[in-house]
Structure 1
Amino acid sequence: MEVIVDQDACAGSGQCVLSAPEVFDQRDTDGIVVLLNDNPDPRLHDDVHEAARICPGRAITLIGP
């Protein structure tokens, strides 16, 4: 799985960080998503899929399973 984030689309809600803190973080200044790992371990895939599903800005794109 490859993870791509669109910082321009990010609403700064932090739902991705709550769902997959090993993969996502937020900038301290404005809460915009920061991608920590663009190719997460398979054991994190369910959490990353959940983060993408609940992202209010639809700022997370997943490529692959």
Structure 2
Amino acid sequence: MAKVNYAFEKRQRELAKKRKQDAKDARKREAREATEPSEAQAPPDQAPEAPAPSEDTAAAPRVHRRPTP
């Protein structure tokens, strides 16, 4: 009698699960793109602007130190 290859069966289940999740993500992405207007379609005066970083915080490296007891 042939021996059952459990690793193969498990891999096939994992691949099927991944394909199903990818298809679900693609449907969600399409729905999101259909409902949200893209930035190219939005008028330029309504585009959100990011605040300019201040010079002193942008150039300074972050230092993490332990508090003294």
TM-score normalised by length of structure 1:
0.23
Specify the structure having the higher radius of gyration (Cα). Answer: 2
Q: By percentage of residues, which structure has more strand?
A: 1
TM-score normalised by length of structure 2:
0.22
Higher relative contact order (CA 8 A, sep 6+): 1
Q: By percentage of residues, which structure has more helix?
A: 2
